[in-house]
């Protein structure tokens, strides 16, 4: 047997099938050709393979490639912040083999031509890219996009992410149209009238700092409205970056009532709170939705534990140093996240006993792929070889100069994390290898 790549001594974890076992994997022509039980490949047989084709995963986990369903690639329009290619390099460095990009580009991804443009840029990139189309034309919240045309071009969901569809009747029509294609509608749940002018969470800290705050109820009202509309239309709703106690509880109730609602949490929302803003005044702590209180952070973790929150998504939002080098309330909201996501999830969720490693991996691979209807890569013979190899016990320190993203706007620089990406493989090709 000849392989293009041979992964040996790995701990194979496939959260979708619930197995964890030792084994070796032979990859050929972009697919998993053969999986061997431990000892089936003897050292003598292994020695017959070229050294450059062997990846020794001793002490590491081999798992289906990670999937991020909430990424801002910025192209077209803001190539100074990120391009499709640089975003995919960043994704590969974070262990991702598939990502879904949001439509708030310039122009917005609200027509077939822009979908095809972004898709063409990703053809030879280091990560699979799936476009999310805009709910409304130019994301203005006034008129629905040509959703059928967008579906034909290959979108996997619709969203006006960055903005909430304020008109409830328009949102109802979007859900009804999306149902015809079994398409999830992703809501950026934030009532703009309640949130207007807020630069951080409305809380004791915002009062103390004298900064205008965005109240939690701005998210909670928006989540409740859209769950009601999803129930009314029997459509699929996905709540992006839920951040509040009330938001989590509304989703929990919606699921209990049988509404087709799913949700994601961003690593910064289960890791940081608004207390840190008073300590650091770091503009990289300005995100949207904002960092909330410790009670909100605990609610996010509880939602991840009990399954109310289905997946982890980065909301990777690059901004240049010039944009962030200003006073807190003038800085654009958003941070990068592709390259710190796995480390934060292992450190904050697995390391502290909230989730098992397979459960955490399910929220970063199988679950997001299922929500978006993506071809779920599996650890099975004949499947596409999209794989992530990482050492869950290896400690590392986040270094700004090592980011592959064009922007470095992360509040986690110099933070010590556990869980290091060693190799990322997409379609049988090594897209990232740690030095």
Residues carrying an active site annotation: 315
Nearest in space to 66 (alpha carbons), one of 263, 339, 273: 339
State how far the Cα of 350 lies from the Cα of 340, in Å rounded to an integer: 15
State how far the Cα of 348 lies from the Cα of 315, in Å rounded to an integer: 18
Count the residues in the chain.
435
**What stretches of 111-146 show up as alpha helix (H) in DSSP?**
112-121
CA dihedral 299, 302, 308, 312 (to 10 degrees): 90
Instruction: Give me Rg for the CA atoms of the chain.
Output: 21
| Run of H or E residues at 324 | helix 321-324
What does residue 361 show for φ and ψ, rounded to 5 degrees? -65, -35
Nearest in space to 103 (alpha carbons), one of 162, 147, 151: 162
What does residue 320 show for φ and ψ, rounded to 5 degrees? -70, 165
Residues 74, 83 contacting (CB under 8 angstroms): yes
* Burial category of 31 from C-beta neighbours within 10 Å (exposed 0-12, middle 13-18, buried 19 and up): middle
CB atoms within 10 A of CB 144: 18
CB atoms within 10 A of CB 434: 14
The string of DSSP letters for 252-309 reads HHHHHTT--EEEEE-GGGTT--THHHHHH--GGG--SSPP--HHHHHHHHHHHHHTSS
Q: Strand, coil or helix: what is 174? A: helix
Structure tokens at 399: 């270094």
State how far the Cα of 412 lies from the Cα of 415, in Å rounded to an integer: 5
């Amino acid at each position: 047997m000849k392989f293009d790549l041979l992964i040996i001594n790995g701990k194979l974890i496939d959260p979708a099938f619930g197995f964890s076992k030792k084994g070796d994997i032979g990859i050929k022509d972009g697919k998993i050709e053969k999986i061997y039980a431990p000892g089936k490949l003897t050292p003598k047989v292994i020695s017959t393979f070229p050294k450059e084709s062997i990846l020794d995963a001793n002490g590491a986990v081999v798992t289906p490639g990670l999937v991020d369903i909430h990424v801002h690639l910025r192209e077209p329009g803001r190539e100074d912040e990120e391009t499709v290619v640089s975003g995919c390099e960043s994704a590969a460095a974070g262990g991702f083999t598939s990502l879904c990009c949001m439509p708030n580009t310039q122009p917005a991804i609200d027509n077939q031509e822009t979908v095809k443009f972004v898709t063409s840029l990703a053809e030879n990139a280091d990560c699979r890219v799936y476009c999310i189309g805009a709910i409304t034309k130019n994301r203005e919240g006034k008129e629905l996009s040509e959703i059928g045309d967008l579906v034909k071009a290959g979108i996997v969901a619709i969203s006006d992410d960055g903005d909430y569809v304020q008109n409830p009747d328009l949102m109802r029509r979007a859900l009804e149209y999306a149902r015809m294609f079994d398409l999830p509608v992703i809501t950026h749940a934030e009532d703009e009238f309640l949130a207007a002018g807020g630069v951080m969470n409305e809380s004791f800290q915002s009062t103390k700092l004298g900064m205008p705050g965005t109240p939690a109820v701005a998210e909670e009202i928006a989540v409740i409205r859209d769950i009601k509309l999803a129930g009314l239309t029997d459509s699929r709703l996905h709540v992006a970056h839920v951040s509040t106690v009330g938001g989590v509880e509304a989703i929990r109730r919606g699921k209990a009532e049988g509404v087709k609602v799913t949700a994601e949490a961003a690593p910064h929302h289960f890791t940081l709170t608004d207390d840190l803003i008073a300590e650091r005044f770091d503009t990289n702590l300005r995100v949207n939705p904002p960092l909330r209180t410790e009670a909100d952070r605990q609610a996010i973790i509880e939602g991840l534990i009990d399954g109310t929150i289905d997946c982890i998504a980065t909301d990777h939002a690059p901004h240049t140093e010039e944009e962030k080098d200003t006073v807190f309330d003038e800085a654009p909201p958003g941070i990068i996240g592709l390259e710190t996501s796995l480390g934060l999830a292992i450190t904050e969720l697995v390391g502290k006993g909230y989730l098992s490693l397979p459960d955490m991996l399910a929220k970063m691979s199988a679950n997001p792929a299922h929500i978006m209807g993506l071809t779920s890569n599996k650890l099975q013979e004949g499947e596409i070889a999209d794989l992530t190899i990482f050492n869950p016990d290896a400690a590392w320190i986040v270094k700004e100069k090592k980011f592959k993203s064009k922007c470095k706007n992360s509040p986690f620089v110099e933070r010590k994390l556990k869980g290091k990406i060693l190799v990322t493989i997409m379609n049988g090709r090594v897209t990232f290898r740690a030095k």
